[in-house]
Homo-oligomer: A and B are copies of this chain.
Amino acid sequence: MKKRMIALAVSMGFVATLTAADDSALREKAKSAGLLPIPAGVPEVTGNPVTREKIDLGLMLFMDPRLSASGVISCNTCHNLGMGGDDNLPTSVGHGWQTGPRNSPTVLNAVFNAAQFWDGRAEDLKEQAKGPVQAGVEMANKPENVVVTLKSMPEYVERFTKAFPNEPDPVTFDNMAKAIEAFEVTLVTPGSPFDDWIEGNDAAMTDEQKQGLDLYIEKGCSACHSGVNFGGQDYFPFGLITKPGADILPPGDKGRFEVTKTVSDEYVFRAGPLRNIALTAPYFHSGAVWDLGAAVALMGTAQLGTKISDEEAAQIVAFLHALTGEQPKIEYPILPVETDDTPRPDLSALPVAN
């Protein structure tokens, strides 16, 4: 009955003041739909115990442009911790001013994704971290050059030795990735209005946001975008019901098919995690849609086969804003100083015209 009342209020387009009982019912509904708060504490990851030494080292590596061949591009260039953990570009700019093929996903809460990248090709964050460092259109470096670079700086050698004790050769490409993973595990954003609300504070979300949450479930958004991260758990064909235009779904990018080589995986992508989505425009793997309401409406036609009205989209957008959590507080690291043995920046790659 309460649920019907909420749905009625929504469908009639007026703002009803919800009662505590309404909140309680909606909360149960959200939990049943698999919408979960960010758990307390630092998440654990497989095969990489998270220590203070690794986190501190990982922060340095994350911010260090000398992991790139040019010395210009760091992880933070495309996963800017001051801008929602991404770069607010359709697709990122990398070595030689080349643009990458897909929109940079946020690093915030990425630890809660089942796998990394839009096509899930990296099992976890430590595998992911090795990708962009080597990609020709991103940081364009080679693992052996990264290791020579890190070994050339005594402070890095000392920090790797402390972060990976009892290892005969602690400064390795794999350990670089493990330290970055340990740092990224700390990049969670608790305390969003949704988290406060789901844990019992009725006042943490506005009525419009609650109506948006109800719609988010009723329309079917939560079928794919659920879990702690409101997505990032599974793969779905983009354009399940209606294929978007080539501007949004470029024919050349077949998504997960490139990973599995299975025909049924053509144009299949990971359901985007929606936490902090209000901070990470533009949207989709193509980065082609800037407006969050337009992205919601497109999902209605493309994935759900339903028309989402402007008013409904606005309510869902209001709810999505309730997924913006406390952004990580980071002390900008003072990086180790170079020596004569540090490889010189390589800017020589010819830039590619866009």
Contact = CB atoms under 8 A, between A and B. Distances in A.
A344 interface: yes
B331 A278 contact: no
Given A329-B331, A332-B82, A345 B88 contact: yes
A317 to B, nearest CB: 12
A81 interface: yes
Given A71-B87, A77-B72, A278 B340 contact: no
Interface stretch (A39-47, A91-99, A214-222): A91-99
Interface string A321-350: 000000101111111011010001101101
B66 A335 contact: no
Residue of A83, A329, A347, A348 ringed by the most chain B CB atoms within 10 A: A83
A83 B335 contact: yes
A2 to B, nearest CB: 34
A290 B64 CA distance: 19
B82 A63 contact: yes
Contacts of A96: 97, 351
Given A82-B333, A350-B353, A338 B88 contact: yes
Interface string A131-151: 000000000000000000000
A71 B88 contact: yes
Oligomer copy total: 2
A72 B99 contact: no
Interface in A189-239: none
A352 interface: yes
A292 to B, nearest CB: 9
Interface of A is mostly: loop
A270 to B, nearest CB: 24
B348 A351 contact: no
B332 A330 contact: yes
A88 B342 CA distance: 11
A306 B71 CA distance: 35
B93 A347 contact: yes
A341 to B, nearest CB: 11
Residue of A90, A93, A329, A345 ringed by the most chain B CB atoms within 10 A: A93
A86 to B, nearest CB: 11
17 contacts: A64-B82, A65-B87, A71-B87, A71-B88, A72-B87, A72-B89, A80-B335, A88-B338, A89-B345, A93-B347, A97-B347, A281-B338, A290-B340, A290-B344, A332-B332, A350-B353, A351-B352
Given A329-B332, A351-B352, 17 more contacts: A65-B87, A72-B77, A72-B89, A81-B332, A82-B333, A82-B334, A89-B345, A90-B345, A96-B351, A99-B347, A279-B337, A330-B331, A330-B332, A331-B331, A332-B332, A347-B354, A351-B351
